[in-house]
Structure 1
Amino acid sequence: DGEYIYHTELDNETSIDPNTYATAEFMPDKSLGVAKTQDNKVMILGRYTLEYFIDAETDDFSFRRLERRAQKIGIVATHAKCEVAGKFYITGGRKDEGLGVHIIGVGSSEKVSTREIDKILETYTEPELSDMRMESRMDGDVTFLIVHLPNDTLCFNETVAKKFGVSVAWSILKSDVAGDTPYRGINGVFDANRGQWMYGDKQNSNIGYLDDTVCTQYGEIVEWIIYSPLFKLDKMSINRLEIETIPGHTVLDDAKVAISFTYNGLTYGKEWFDMYGEPLDYGKNFGINRIGG
């Protein structure tokens, strides 16, 4: 209920004794979420605190607080947490600091959100984030963390972060071409019978399967936007910009690709279009010469 912690009767999982309860007392903050660790410890996540309890089979309340495991960090909403391979990611932070995305370890935490991600989180009030969600997906050897905000969907590639750092591990997911509609897929579940991930749809009751052979979302086309770093060239120029692709492996014409340039990061010049690839055109070379200067 935000203040008290209850558990079911040990001999009757459908019954709760209202007189058997405890509180998270590390700091006087509201308890927002509950989770369980791999070693069967119970995590009580407050707005600014994290406490652990263990089943000690004591009288009255059966769980005992592990005082030395408490941490001064918490979550912003009930579902602002996600377990990934035995560790927990949370969206929240410490008291008197801004929101961020953190990895929780034993007695420690590590921030993984970048300045750009923190700026997106800052656009929301805490009440607006009360229904945010976090989920994960392991696809082969790649692990993704997906953060669903009211108007944005953020994706953290844990595998990329381990190899190249968190600064290049974040992306923003969207579900349209002309606008910034938040990513529609949510609540992913792995279907063992089909060997595919199954996702719901934020817009309606659609159910979709993650399919690497198509680039649409629920039958509708979408776009990818890729930004390069900003280079200060002064009077120099770039001889050639090339995008490495795997062309030709399609039964239909692939989408068009557009390139445009900016000198200030705000306004962009005329877009240059080319076909991304065509069926059986394995030698497609996608690039543009003589940029800037």
Structure 2
Amino acid sequence: MRVRDRVVVVTGASSGIGRATAEAFARKGCAVVLAARRPEALAEAARDCEKHRGARALAVPTDVTDAAAVERLAEQAVERFGRIDVWVNSAAVAAFGPFLEVPLRDFRKVVDVNVMGSVHGARAALRVMREQGHGTLIDISSIVGVVSQPYNHAYGMSKHAVRALGTSLRQELRLEGAKDIHVCSVLPATIDTPFFEHAANYTGRKVVAMPPVYSPERVARAVVDLVRTPRREVVVGPAGRSLVRQSRMTPGLTERMMGRQVDKTHLSRKEPAPATEGSLHVPAPGTGAAHGGWGGRRRTALRRLATATALAGLTAGARRLIREP
């Protein structure tokens, strides 16, 4: 499908991957409908999109946990632009902490935003796409949807569920003969966004981006490419692709390795952190941003080193495991 002039709805568009994705489509001259909870940040993101030649933007403050609000989002997109060619479910939140110490209220909120938000988005999008006979639904999952992590239970569960939803929808559409409606899943590795700052945290340790860290624009490019050439699933980041492959070959080894890596590099051993709900229940203030401050030249060098080290470690570990009786 040609990307230019498409009508694209993006949830979670006020920051992170959602914001970078909205701007990527705006650069292609698309009409972009941006949805998130924060009106101020959303308006700023829409203004950024409109700076690009040929782009049109509509900001619709939306809580994706509200099914009726998501239906209204779809209605406003069609009312303004006449159709929906692409829908990107990008809204997501997280709560870090030992399993028994994360409040159930926070656990439910993560599942509600990440899973039910994707369900509400898919239902709203597919109603329109079925009627018009074409469209692409793209869900932002995660490599955590393949290899789970400790201390991030609800998020990992939700990303597994998002992948399962995509699989089921593809099967259903195929059985219906809806060849021009596509459902794709994107599985990013660690991305430089404000996500970690916004997460609820009950670990007592600061949550940091676990290297290697990739840019949100890298994910946005993958999303745009899926509109041109739809695929079932796309993993973003070489380290993520390696991890997914290794999990298929040696799942037990990969599980143990991920646990150690999270404890060593995802939760700071130097910086304590007070218990916080983050932005789970109340949106973070400000105008939002695509980046979280984890990038830069030093991070790029660390990313390359960490990728090489991770690949070498996985290979050596797999060989040891194979040699074990």
TM-score w.r.t. length of structure 1: 0.28
TM-score w.r.t. length of structure 2: 0.26
Larger-gyration structure (1/2): 1
**Larger relative strand fraction:** 1
